[in-house]
Each structure stands twice: as structure tokens, then as C-alpha cells.
Amino acid sequence: MDFGEGEGITYRTSNNMAGGPADLTDWTSDGEWNKQERALFADLGLDLNGPQQGATSCHTGLFPNPASSAVNWTMQTYAPTSGAGGYTVSATLVDRNYHIRQRIDRQSVINGITYILDLTRIGLSPNELYRLYYVVSNTNGLVYKGHGDIRCTPQ
């Protein structure tokens, strides 16, 4: 798994402010996903390499990063496309070998969510990188998909 250039994460403080270098491949709309990435969401029944309804539909990020105990993953959604109601968000946290460490299954979202990932409870290893993949859909299909990387630090 390629975690991107530099340190592979986008640094954010506990107040969700920029805290260092940014990985420009994190927390944006992704293009084509490989077979292992698509398999993480096979149960959704979506064409994950099909067209997205628009990256302007969502904004997401995670803070603090790096972190030792817990992180806040936030997603802000905007007005759904015509006739599509709200959104459904699914996410999967994996290690560098695509082993699933945590799943967030089909959460209904109208305006946005904040989800707390308890890194201690999940049992992540210090000084290791992990990736959170996410998929947003509505009744019209795939809205947005992407990923962001997390560095777990010693407590």
C-alpha cells in the first residue's frame, strides 16, 4: 500500500488545525480503486470505479493526526442531488495489508457526522500507518469515495 509522499499523513491538531505537512492524496475524492480496495465494500453493491456524483457533495477529514488514543473522523455532506434523499456512509479502517481493523457500516447521514475511532480499543500498533477508506452513496448510487491515512503514536 502506498501511503503517499512524505510522511504519508495530513497533520492536524486536536483542534482540527493544520499541524504540519499535508498528504494531498488524503481526504479527497479517489479515482480508480484496486481489487482489494473494492472488496472492502463489496456488500454495498455499488460500482466503486463508476462515476461519482460529485466531490463537492462531501468534505471529510480526521483529527488529531498523528494520535495515540482516539481520533475524530468528520464528514460534512451538502444538499443531496435532486430526488435522492439523504446519504449513507460506510467506512473501513485497514492496516497496510488490507486487514480490517474497524468497520463503520451504512450510517445514515443528512448534514454530516463525527465518528470517534478509539485507537486503543481497536489495538493499533504505535508508529504504524493505517488507512480509512470511505464510501458515500444515495438512492442514485455512488456519490463520493476516498481515503485518508492515520499514524498511531505511542501513549
* Digit-coded pLDDT (tens) for 76-131: 877 655 555 678 889 999 999 999 999 988 777 777 788 899 998 998 888 899 99
pTM of the model: 0.90
Of 27-41, 81-95, 140-154, which range is least confident?
81-95
Residue 105 exposure: Cα atoms within 13 Å on the Cβ side: 4
141-152/28-29 β-pairing? antiparallel
Residue 96, Ramachandran bin (φ over 0: left; ψ between -120 and 50: alpha; else beta): alpha
Is the confidence at residue 41, as pLDDT, over 70? Answer: yes
Is the pLDDT confidence value at 16 over 70? yes
Q: Given this model, what pLDDT does residue 85 score?
A: 61
- Checking if the pLDDT of 24 tops 60, the result is yes
**pLDDT value for 57:** 60
If you average pLDDT over residues 133-138, what whole number do you get?
Answer: 91
The pLDDT value given to residue 105: 86
pLDDT, mean over the chain: 87
34-59: buried (b, 16+ CB within 10 Å) or exposed (e) per residue?
A: eeebbebbeebebebeeebbeeebbe
